[in-house]
Amino acid sequence: MSFKSKGDHSSGSSVSKKWSFLLCLGCFCAGMFFTNRVGTVPQSKGIMRATAMEAEKLKLISESCNLKVKEEKHVSKDIMGEVFKTHHAIHALDKTISNLEMELAAARAAQESLLDSSPLSTDANRAESSRKRRYLMVIGINTAFSSRKRRDSVRATWLPQGEKRKKLEDEKGIIVRFVIGHSATTGGILDRAIEAENQKHGDFLRLQDHVEGYLELSAKTKIYFATAVALWDADFYVKVDDDVHINAHVYVFTTLGETLVRHRKKPRVYIGCMKSGPVLSQKGVRYHEPEHWKFGEAGNKYFRHATGQLYAISKDLASYISINQHVLHKYANEDVSLGSWFIGLDVEHIDDRRLCCGTPPDCEWKAQAGNACVASFDWSCSGICKSANRIKEVHRRCGEGENALWSATF
């Protein structure tokens, strides 16, 4: 009986342990399940809320930064605009000051020439009254001691004489003079011949500080402009050679005058037939350039400049030459020298092909087409070939008539 009781107890204990283990395992699983359900969900929601809040803060910060950047850009644009306006005003003021300085220097040069015991030209006695008015242009006809026949042919064709020349000055504001310096022997026979010719015609501008010579044309050009701007207050200063025909009897002044008037309000104007010829390094040839090495390699061309037969410059440029004539470099060729003096300046180059027409029939064809020329010459001769003999024929065939001038208004 006692054995039976022991066996029953052992069996019940074994069952109780199994159930206890299963119960514990079930409780553990239930606890894990409950923990995941309760703990995980609130944590996820909290993270999402935190992320949303951070994103909102970042958005606000970004918008604030963008606003600041826009404001900074706007302020930067305003500052740059003010800087540009200020720079423009300073640039305009510099130009005004520069123009005033050139006019003052020109006035001083004129006063000094008048006070000098040796006048710059035979026109010096009338210079004071001449400067009281403003002329349209001063035309200097470059000539030499040996060119008497050329001068007479010019007087017989396109250059007015006597009262007509005076009328040209008074009514049209156009001064015309033959330009010449002095001989190496002061007061010699060459100078006396020019003085006698001037007493007869009164159409010379004598350059006191210049000794004539073919290799001195660049120096002569400088002194001409300096002298002319000191004697006459004009809008333009023109240089023409004495073997160039001005198409039609004084018609040049109409055509040239109308051309120049179109550019009157521009401060620095350089008008002519612009070219760019080769730099000749070979010795012994015509137009040889001793300083050819300054223009680079052999075979290079010059910078653009007006051909020397006829060109015009505005008053500011003539004044610039007058003020700086002692430091302006002279090249072998006069037209190259003039172009080099303007190469670093704010100058407007105007290429007008009417200033370099050919002799008949070229000038006739252009006149018939309604494109009248200002000047005619032969390129092969750098002027009219045998001009003293041929200029009358050129004048007859290319002329437009004297009435064109007196009916013109500038």
Express each pLDDT in 311-357 by its tens digit: 999 999 999 999 999 999 999 999 999 999 999 999 999 999 989 99
The pLDDT of residue 22: 73
Q: How far is CA 221 from CA 106, 181, 279, in A?
A: 17, 11, 21
Q: pLDDT tens across 188-235, in order? A: 999 999 999 999 999 999 998 899 988 899 999 999 999 999 999 999
Q: Which residues of 51-66 are buried (b: 16+ CB within 10 A; e: fewer)?
A: eeeeeeeeeeeeeeee
Q: Which amino acid is at 201?
A: H
* Full DSSP string of 210-238: EE--GGGHHHHHHHHHHHHHHH--EEEEE
pLDDT tens, 44-102?
A: 445 455 566 666 665 656 666 565 555 555 555 667 667 667 766 775 666 566 556 55
Residue 16: band (very low, low, confident or very high) from pLDDT cuts 50, 70, 90: low
Q: Sign of the CA dihedral 15, 20, 26, 29? A: negative
User: Comparing C-alpha atoms, which of 17, 256, 283, 289 is closest to residue 137?
Assistant: 256
For residues 373 and 386, give the distance between their C-alpha atoms in angstroms, rounded to a whole number. Answer: 20
User: Residue 6: exposed, middle, or buried by beta-carbon count in 10 A (0-12, 13-18, 19+)?
Assistant: exposed
3-state SS, residue 188? coil
Instruction: Say which residue, 405 or 339, is predicted with more confidence.
Output: 339
Q: Is the dihedral angle over the CA atoms 171, 175, 178, 183 positive or is it negative?
A: positive
* Ramachandran angles phi, psi of 206, nearest 5°: -90, 130
Model pLDDT for residues 120-173, shown as the tens digit of each residue: 444 555 555 555 688 989 999 999 999 999 999 999 998 989 999 999 899 889
Q: How confident is the model at residue 119 (pLDDT cuts 50, 70, 90)?
A: very low
